[in-house]
Amino acid sequence: MTEVALFGAGRIGRIHAGNVARQAGVTLRYVIDVDGTAAAALAAEHGAKVTTAEAAFADQAVGAVVICSSTDTHADLITRAAAAGKAIFCEKPVDLSVERARSCADAVERAGVACMIGFQRRFDPTFSTLKERLAAGEIGDPEMLVVTSRDPGAPPVEYLKRSGGIFRDMLIHDFDVFRWILDDDAASVYATGSVLTDPAVGSVGDVDSTAVTIRTKRGRLAQINTSRRAAYGYDQRFEVLGSKGMLQAGNHRPTEVTASTMANVSRDKPEHFFLERYRAAYALEMAHFFDCLATGKPVRTSIGDGVKALELADAATASWRDRRIVELG
């Protein structure tokens, strides 16, 4: 029986807690949160206890930690968990600073513990099936990747202020998708962006709409277009052009109802947001984490992947800010 301490009883924490609880041979033992009420409610729901980080790390019975507290706590908690010999599941990003993220990766490596970063998209059934079929050679060699990544609406400005900017906060997922799907390294990054949906986004020095182009070392081309606001909901698509064809990952809909009227023929909008769209992915990534712990297999989304995605986010941020093409090693 693996006992788990979970940090962060917010929205995503509750998702992860439920998925932890569903794993055979795994018990959610502790919930830690600065908001005692939230921690108590979540703990009660799963028969766990509220405790402190210190107590959780000190408890030898705890074999794994799940970190879904705010971004600024990730690096510290990863480092302490590694030192305590706990296996680690941590939400993205590792940190907003590449240097600190690399330090965390070093700490994890020295400790020899498993550490998985929550790039849940790699576990989405549509995305992972596409990746398998691509890897099986169904469309030959990949040549171009086009990613469309749009949220239904921007988070509060207070959140944006501390988010590290759109490239680190939102596109970090798309940079990971780029790396995973093309299995190639970036040679150059070009990014531009605009404030088109809400002037408040600009007032904190961020943008809400971006266009990124990555050229890989093998000459492949990737384009990512992103917006904080798509009126029709959460738009999560990508397509890969290969030498023998194309694979596309489309949006998921709540139902398969079609209505034909005098106006048009319509279907459902995409599933609303990430909690709905990636529900299966969240369940599958947690099952994968504990399966890796049980079998010793490497995790699919390592802390190294977290560092690499952050490096791309930094490059894109520099490209946008300085209006230049950023050449990478």
Per CB under 8 A, contacts with a second copy among 246-305 are 246-252, 254-270
Question: Taking CB under 8 A as the rule, does residue 29 contact a second copy?
Answer: no
Q: Two tokens at 65? A: 């930690």
Compute the least distance from the CB of residue 243 to a second copy, in Å: 7
Q: How far is the CB of 59 from a second copy (least distance, A)?
A: 26
Binding mask of the shown chain, residues 184 to 223, with x at each position contacting a second copy by CB under 8 A: ----x-x-xxxxxx-----------xxx-x-x---xxxxx
245 scored as a contact of a second copy (CB under 8 A): yes
| By the rule CB under 8 A, 230 interacts with a second copy | yes
State in angstroms the smallest separation of the CB of 105 from a second copy: 30
Residue with tokens 């405790």: 51
Q: With respect to a second copy, which residue has the nearer C-beta, 27 or 209? A: 209
Q: How far is the CB of 173 from a second copy (least distance, A)?
A: 18
Tell me which residues in 88-107 interact with a second copy (CB under 8 A).
none
> Per-residue contact track with a second copy, 128 to 167, x per CB under 8 A?
-xx--x----xxxx-xx-x-x-x-----------------
Sign of CA dihedral 95, 89, 252, 276: negative
Shorter beta-carbon distance to a second copy: residue 102 or 300: 300
Q: How far is residue 278's CA from residue 283's CA, in Å, rounded to a whole number?
A: 9
Whether residue 93 is preceded by a cis peptide bond, meaning omega within 30 degrees of 0, is yes
39-76 burial, b for 16+ CB within 10 Å, e for fewer? bbebbeebebbbbebeebbebeebbbbbbbbebebbbe
321 binds a second copy (CB under 8 A): no
Coil vs helix vs strand at 210: strand
* Spatial CA neighbour of 308 closest among 278, 329, 283: 329
Q: Which of 151, 124, 146, 121 is nearest to 232 (CA)?
A: 151
Does 120 participate in binding a second copy (rule CB under 8 A)? Answer: no
